[in-house]
Amino acid sequence: MILASMDTGGIISPSGEIFVNCGSQKTFHISANEGYEVADVNINDVSAGPLTTYSFENITKNQQTIQASFKLKQLTITILMQGNGNGNLSEQTQILSYGANLTVKATPDDKSKFIGWGGDASGSSDAILENITSNKTIIATFEPKDIPTVSLQLHKQGNGTIRINNQDVMLPFSQEFELDKTITVSAQSLDGWQFTFWSGSITDSEQSIEIQMNNDKTITANFVEIPPEILSLRISEIIGPGHIYVNETVCEAVPCSYSFVSGSDIQILAEPSHLFESFTGDIFSNESPFSFILNENTAIKATFENNMTCPQWDFVIDSAMIINYSDLGAFADHWLLTDDEPNWNPDFNLSLIPDPETRKQIINYRDLSIFADHWLESSPCFE
């Protein structure tokens, strides 16, 4: 004997106590009612899954069982949003049992409006689904409200930038904003420039201002150039036989003063280099040339060695030029005269001290003629 039973939601056929012959075969059919589906079939208290038929083959055992169970169908309700607006839905996509009811509310945000439902729902109020018997898809459409706008135009005079709500904008700038929206506009000056004031629809000297866009506005940020700072460089003293060049300009007579824009590149050069010892004062260096950036008023002293002795026959004309007697060679005696000779002319005397033995001196430099420049040299000596 086979006992066939079922719970609510479907039938098993045949059902009840079914008597069969030993060694025979018996088939049972399981079907669900509308809105239900087979949940499971138990054979002799062992699950066989959601079968729709089952056959006992070569029956030799008495007192066997087959039991069918059923469940409501599960349906998918897909809930979507579309459009260029934004809003909230009271329900999201979900699974419901067959025959269930569902109400979905659509709420737009303050910048949007709800247009209506589409798909398996319609209308512009709540979507109400009753006695759901199949999968459904409902779509809520939101679009932006028709919000009035006003324009903002930004310009500049001078060198600087403008930011709106901390975002850089390209100038000239023009954009529409919602009516009565509040924005922050700020001006940033570039190097060497300074922000002064806003002009146009708004006059203000604050670098950052808040603007309520209650009408069209045109605003200009005004910048002025900052005059460069002028600094002085002074060669205050030169100790010893030498000259100083500042950016290739010689200091003719100390003290020498120069004016430069702050931040200028400066090079100071000492000549002759082999006698140079150091730069002191507001800077210190024993290198020549020496380069630096002028960031403040600066005074410099240069020191040269001063322990040289002029050769016996080097006659100093001035601090820069000498005549080297030894180089005159065979011509030397032609210009060596004493002060008691007829050709003596003190106006052309080049030596202040005569030779102690001969009392002769080099005179008449003018008479050296084409040979003169050959014996003019830079002198490390001073009389």
Examine the fold and report which residue of 120, 144, 168 is the final residue of a domain before the chain moves on: 144
Q: What is the DSSP letter of 366?
A: G
Res. 364: pLDDT tops 80: no
Res. 321: pLDDT tops 50: no
Do residues 65 and 96 share a domain? no
Which whole number is the average pLDDT over 31-41?
95
State the Cα–Cα distance between residues 102 and 132, nearest whole angstrom.
8
**Quick check: is 383 in a domain?**
no
Choose between 330 and 25: higher pLDDT: 25
Do residues 250 and 205 share a domain? no
Which whole number is the average pLDDT over 45-55?
95
Q: Which long-range contacts (CB under 8 A, 24 or more apart) does 145-148 make?
A: 145/85, 145/111, 145/112, 145/113, 147/111, 147/178, 147/179, 148/178, 148/179
Res. 336: pLDDT tops 70: no
**Quick check: is 371 in a domain?**
yes
**Quick check: is 49 in a domain?**
yes
Res. 350: pLDDT tops 60: no
User: Is the pTM higher than 0.75?
Assistant: no
Reported confidence tier of residue 307, pLDDT bands at 50, 70, 90: low
Examine the fold and report which residue of 95, 123, 144 is the final residue of a domain before the chain moves on: 144
Reported confidence tier of residue 114, pLDDT bands at 50, 70, 90: very high
pLDDT (0 to 100) of residue 345? 54
Examine the fold and report which residue of 42, 57, 72 is the final residue of a domain before the chain moves on: 72
**Quick check: is 309 in a domain?**
no
State the Cα–Cα distance between residues 73 and 39, nearest whole angstrom.
10
pLDDT (0 to 100) of residue 28? 95
pLDDT (0 to 100) of residue 111? 86
Reported confidence tier of residue 145, pLDDT bands at 50, 70, 90: confident
**Quick check: is 86 in a domain?**
yes
- Contact status, residue 127 vs residue 121, Cβ threshold 8 Å: yes
Res. 102: pLDDT tops 90: yes
- Side chain identity at residue 76, one-letter code: T
Domain count of the fold of the chain = 5
Do residues 243 and 196 share a domain? no
Reported confidence tier of residue 116, pLDDT bands at 50, 70, 90: very high
Do residues 242 and 280 share a domain? yes
pLDDT (0 to 100) of residue 377? 42
pLDDT (0 to 100) of residue 47? 95
Instruction: For residue 34, give the CATH number of its domain.
Output: 2.60.40
Mean pLDDT in the chain?
A: 84
Do residues 293 and 339 share a domain? no
- Domain of 321? 314-378
| Range name among 163-172, 218-227, 336-345 with the lowest pLDDT average | 336-345
* CB-based contacts of 24, cutoff 8 Å, min separation 6: 58, 59
